[in-house]
Structure 1
């Protein structure tokens, strides 16, 4: 059974915003001749890194809702120039919308067991996946989806 991370997407306004941001970062890396990997750098190394690498995803909270995910490919601890231990979470760069769930703000990350993870939106509600994100948010807030 996979283990996942849940993290705030600071600055992202929507799933589309997150998708565009990831695409732009990958494009920039390619332009610079770097390996086109989507890497999220954190201060701490997850203690359960091995479990995360066995099919886990990073679920992003956008504007108070778990909204999308990216598959975790690797966890790479390192020490920065100032001697501070950090961690690179390597993601597949494919932002997948998920069944939205409210989630309040927090610091760092939280673990998400497979049984509690939201389903991909295309599997949970195929018709809803085609709706504009803002409409999905409004319908969710009204308790209609």
Structure 2
């Protein structure tokens, strides 16, 4: 099973702007300072995007390439797949996410707007109401 990672979509104002960036070209490229130690396990896995304190979508990881400036490029398939939102605290950089802990993809008849926002879902979860 491939390994996944989470990352905050800090420049995106919402799911639509994230989708526009990811699906703009033949590949989406994300820069990171350090190569993940377990990068070989991550090829074929997904990068799960965090917006408004919730994991909301994912992109398949195609590979990793070193840049001239010493940083690394994470190459992503140019398709944003919405997932069932799951509360996730903000963090810097990226974090590993095991396949068993990853949220499921939304079904074709589901819409990301049909579920509660991340912050509200997190608060209701802590209260034991969801």
Q: TM-score range by the shorter chain?
A: 0.7 to 0.9
SS of equivalent residue, structure 1 residue 16: helix
SS of equivalent residue, structure 2 residue 65: strand
Gaps of 5+ in 1: 27-35
Whole-angstrom distance in 1 between the partners of 2:117 and 2:36: 34
Whole-angstrom distance in 2 between the partners of 1:117 and 1:19: 20
**Other-structure match for 2:66:** 77
Q: TM-score, normalised by structure 2?
A: 0.83
Whole-angstrom distance in 1 between the partners of 2:90 and 2:118: 21
Shift of 1:140: 8.4
**Other-structure match for 1:99:** 84
Q: Is the 8 A contact 1:13 1:63 kept in 2?
A: no
* Cα displacement string for residues 83-105 of structure 1 (whole angstroms, at most 9, x for unaligned residues): xx211000001000001011111
From the CA coordinates, give the structure whose radius of gyration is larger.
Answer: 1
Q: Label 1:139 to 1:51 Cα distance change in 2 as closer, same or farther (>3 A).
A: closer
SS of equivalent residue, structure 2 residue 23: helix
Pairwise CA RMSD: 2.3
The runs of 4+ residues in structure 1 deviating greater than 6 Å are none
SS of equivalent residue, structure 1 residue 76: strand
- Indicate whether 1:39 and 2:29 are aligned: yes
Whole-angstrom distance in 2 between the partners of 1:140 and 1:49: 30
**Other-structure match for 1:120:** 105
1:1-145 map, 5 Å = 1-24=1-24, 26=25, 36-53=26-43, 55-80=44-69, 85-122=70-107, 127=109, 129-130=110-111, 133=113, 135-138=114-117, 141=120
What is the number of equivalent residue pairs in this alignment?
124
Q: TM-score, normalised by structure 1?
A: 0.75
Shift of 1:121: 1.1
